[in-house]
A and B are shown apart, each in its own frame.
Chain A
Amino acid sequence: MQLVGQPIRKKDAMALVQGKPVFTDDLAPKDCLVVKVLRSPHANAMVKNIKTDIAKRVPGIEDIYTWEDVPQQRFTMAGQTYPEPSPYDRLILDRHVRYVGDPVAIVAGANEECVEQALRMIKVEYEVLPAILDFRKAKDNELLVHPEDTWKSLCPVGADNKRNLCACESSDHGDVDQVLADCDVVVEETYHTLANQQAMMETFRTVCYMDTYGRLNVFSSTQIVFHARRILSNALGIPKSKIRVMKPRIGGGFGAKQTVVAEIFPAFVTWKTGKASKMIFTREESQTASSPRHEMEVSVKIGADKDGRIRAIDVYTLSNTGAYGEHGPTTVGLSGHKSIPLYGSLEAHRFAYDVVYTNTMSAGAYRGYGATQGIFAVESAVNELAGRLGMDPVELRLKNMVREGQTMPAYYGETAKSCALDRCLLRAKEMIGWDEKFPCRDMGNGKVRSVGVSMAMQGSGISGVDVGSATIKLNEDGIYTLMIGAADMGTGCDTILAQMAAECLDCQMENIIVSGADTDTSPYDSGSYASSTTYVTGKAVEKACEKLQIKICERAAEMLSCTVDKIEFDGHRAKNLENGETVTLQEIGTSSMCGNECALQVTETHSSPFSPPPFMAGMVEIELDKETGHVEILDYVAVVDCGTVINPNLARVQTEGGIVQGIGMALYENIQYSDKGQMLNQSFMQYKLPTRLDMGKLRVEFEESHEPTGPFGAKSIGEIVINTPAPALAHAIANATGIWFRELPITSEKIAMGIARK
């Protein structure tokens, strides 16, 4: 292969490093209205009275909207394929406010100053209600987060608003209780992860304007242009055909922008006023009123024989979806379905869950999407099991891990057609020097060095649901345009999809123009989430290019007056094998624009009945200060099986970035609520992202497998990479201190206090 597998520079790289104006706010019309919302100071309250008359008199204010001004049909902001599993539980503005930060009024004005001033002059009288802040007390509580009868669930996910349930389910394979009762050793523990923020550097933002045809144009930092169009149609009560959604460059997504967080407010303002408007979230809003990871408490029972054969895993997850149900019914599934199948020879498993509403910020999609939480729990439990068995945790895994060709009952019954997990683990072990370093070494200066391990898996798209499409066309100068509805959010999918196209069409990267995403011009794509783009959209690109090449040959045959089977096309030139006459690609492109009835353009759509898991192993070496509890990461090694690596640079940086996010989740990124339900970590002062001083040395390698259903044998890479740090670090910390920390983040304070109490 010429281009697939090459470390090719991202197509937009030079524009980005030179700071060109390519992001949403850079491209906003200069005179557009500024939109902001007034947010509830209470975790649960009814708006009894709201006075906006004085605020409306602030010079420059265009209008102010309250719950009385918005459509009354409920919708979800979750960017998912219709019918969405997330319940329809939102209004644009609701009289019933359900968390500190819930919007109460929309203010639009000429500039930020007048809007800020008007926000301060709106008088709201609230009837403050008791709130449910502890998600362990939510199910069947007499207080209801969504008592309203207009609440609606479209899918059979076990949702019941009269029980504060956003979803519940139980599935099993074999008799778990019986197998566990028969095991020599059973580890039973509960693990708790918090509602981490994606904290992409570009906060949520959207610009809206009306076009020549009276249609609402929405220009937004989003991963999901097509879902956004449907959600806006549902929310505003206007036809989808009246809405166009486009995305420019996106300043990071990580799933945050798989929810329509900012779009609805400026869209409502522009639709009402006919004027262009924009909404730019502050960092505080992005921290306190957005779409973070679901807080989960995962209880694991894992049973094994004394020789280390893992026989059964039982997982129960309690997930906190917050005030609204975005991604609530779906994230939770991954906590079991993408943790239990790491172990290939289980006699039985069970996985049950409840997803509950509380009066905290609504959760959403964040890289890993529930798998991160489940893998922290299951991999920690496996490490604890190794301790109880007195076995090396790497040996225990080698004995029990899923292998290529095995069926995975907990993973929708799919077979692991491509799996190099064994090679990943062995290579990671070699890279870090596991045998010399496990479990720990006392350095004699109050510091201990130790190691920890974890495995991980994810999916590649949502099987049988996600749709990826590609349109490829030949232009007159022999250059192709590739149109996609997938969203490059910095990951480089524009580039890797162009690599695939160039590989199929035997041309240079420069000869592929990538265009997207725009609901008016892009072919339909579910969007970039669920680790789908490389695997699903990539296959659509492959299919479209193959068909276009046939059409090019047909056109060439016409030009060279021969049958198509006599044409040989090398990507640049088509040759009539009978007489050696040739035409160039440029000539073919030009000829297609004169007296031609066959479009040199193909659109192909792809969806897969499978979601082949990528696999990986992560190992960390830390130095822990026994006095202060400080953890310094010395070395992090990661070996990933994402099938064929399409672009080794981009795959490596995905891995490194995911690991550092995972380190933040494991050690620093805290979410704390006051007893009134205010989220306290509302800025980067209180929510500590890892800096380049915090991540130690990262080393990434790939162990390729070949996924037969993927484009060029590829699987996904985007999400799996965040899953190993939390369990590997918890393991290393336990090896250094003898204490198991089962709640994230494992801060220095917790470690120091734990050591002091011991």
Chain B
Amino acid sequence: MQISVMLNGKKVTEEIKPDLLLIDFVRNHGCYSVKRGCETSNCGLCTVFLDEKPVLSCSVLAARADGHAVQTLEGLQEEAAEFGAFIADQGAEQCGFCNPGMIMNAIALFRENPDPTDDEIREYLAGNLCRCSGYEGQLRGIRAFIEYKKQGGAVCS
């Protein structure tokens, strides 16, 4: 079947097999930030935006994205760098394998709720597993980023 997807702002039209998963579709198009961590929708590593809503691309058929916009971290490099710097300043990126999915979901959180409480952060990102950091450093980074944004993005950490 043929699908047409706006992938990171570029229109991609392609003949695909009906059972192709969105994660494999985007990786086939060079979006390597999207990682497969579990195959059972438990880890959050494969998070992408489907029409600006975070979804787990391992559990979405590529066919579902036909006529829709898909964004991965490749299309959000500036936001990733701006926010990611605060994670990096805690050393909380560690191995980095879970970072793209967590950062996608964190960007979604900030768009929905620019000033979340710690509990709201934990709840929103609960589906993003990390085996290295113990989460506390990520929380410190997120808090510092929120503070920086509140100051108009002018104050560096």
- Kindly list chain A residues whose C-beta atoms are within 8 Å of the C-beta of B16: none
- Tell me whether A9 and B91 are in contact in the complex, defined as CB-CB below 8 angstroms, given that A17-B99, A252-B131 are known contacts: yes
**Distance between Cα atoms of A283 and B33 in the complex (Å):** 18
Interface SS of B by simple majority: loop
> Closest residue to B98 on the A side, CB-wise?
A201
0/1 interface trace, chain B 22-43, chain A, CB 8 Å (1 if under)? 0000000010111101111011
Interface-lining segment among B49-57, B109-117, B121-129, B147-155: B121-129
Residues on the A chain within 8 Å of B131, using CB: 198-201, 252, 254, 657, 661, 689
A199 — which chain B residues lie within 8 A by C-beta? 131
Partner of A683, one of B42, B95, B127, B134: B42
- The interface size of chain A toward B, counting residues with CB under 8 Å, comes to 57
Q: Is A380 an interface residue (CB 8 A)?
A: no
Bound-complex Cα distance A698 to B94 (A)? 17
Q: Roughly how many angstroms separate A7 CA and B33 CA in the complex, as a whole number?
A: 27
What is the size, in residues, of chain B's interface with A at 8 Å between Cβ atoms? 53
Asked if A757 is an interface residue, CB under 8 A from chain B, the answer is no
Please, which residues of chain B bring their CB within 8 A of the CB of A647? Answer: 91
Q: Is B91 within 8 A of A492, CB to CB?
A: yes
**Residue contact A16 to B43, C-beta cutoff 8 Å:** no
Knowing A201-B45, A252-B97, A684-B129 are in contact, say whether A692-B135 is a contact too (CB < 8 A): yes
CB closest chain-B residue, reference A661: B131
Q: Report the bound CA distance from A650 to B88 in whole Å.
A: 10
Please tell me if the beta carbons of A19 and B74 are within 8 angstroms of each other in the complex: yes
Given contacts A9-B89, A201-B129, A683-B40, contact A18 B95 (CB under 8 A): no
Give the distance in Å from the alpha carbon of A10 to the alpha carbon of B80 in the complex: 16
Give which listed residue, B40, B81, B97, B134, contacts A698 with CB less than 8 A.
B134
- Contact residues of A between 1 and 53, Cβ < 8 Å to B: 7, 9-10, 12-23, 26
Q: Which residue of B lies closest to A659 (CB)?
A: B134
Q: How far is the CA of A9 from the CA of B132 in the complex (A)?
A: 16
CB distance from A218 to the nearest CB of B (A): 20
Query: Does any Cβ of B come within 8 Å of A490's Cβ?
Result: yes
Are A489 and B32 in contact (CB-based, < 8 A)?
no
- Given known contacts A201-B129, A283-B40, A652-B91, A17 and B97 CB-to-CB distance under 8 angstroms: no
Whether A649 lies near B122 (C-beta < 8 A) is: no
Query: Whole-angstrom distance between the alpha carbons of A254 and B30 in the complex?
Result: 29
- Does the CB pair A252–B132 fall under 8 Å? yes
**A179-214 CB contacts (< 8 Å) to partner B:** 198-203
Q: CB-CB contacts of A240-272 with B at 8 A, as 1s and 0s?
A: 000000000111111000000000000000000
Contact A685 B40, beta carbon cutoff 8 Å:
yes
Q: Is B135 in contact with A650, judged by CB distance below 8 angstroms? A: no
Against B, the Cβ 8 Å flags (1 = close, 0 = not) of A580-616 are 0000000000000000000000000000000000000
Known: A17-B83, A693-B123, A693-B126. 18 other contacts (CB 8 A): A16-B84, A16-B99, A17-B81, A17-B84, A18-B77, A18-B80, A199-B131, A203-B37, A254-B131, A283-B38, A491-B94, A649-B91, A653-B132, A656-B136, A683-B42, A684-B43, A692-B125, A692-B138
- Contact residues of B with A, CB < 8 Å? 30, 32-35, 37-40, 42-43, 45, 72-74, 77, 80-81, 83-85, 87-100, 103, 122-123, 125-139
Q: List 16 A-B contacts (CB under 8 A).
A: A7-B89, A16-B96, A17-B81, A17-B88, A18-B81, A21-B30, A251-B95, A252-B95, A490-B95, A653-B132, A653-B137, A657-B134, A689-B129, A691-B126, A692-B128, A695-B136
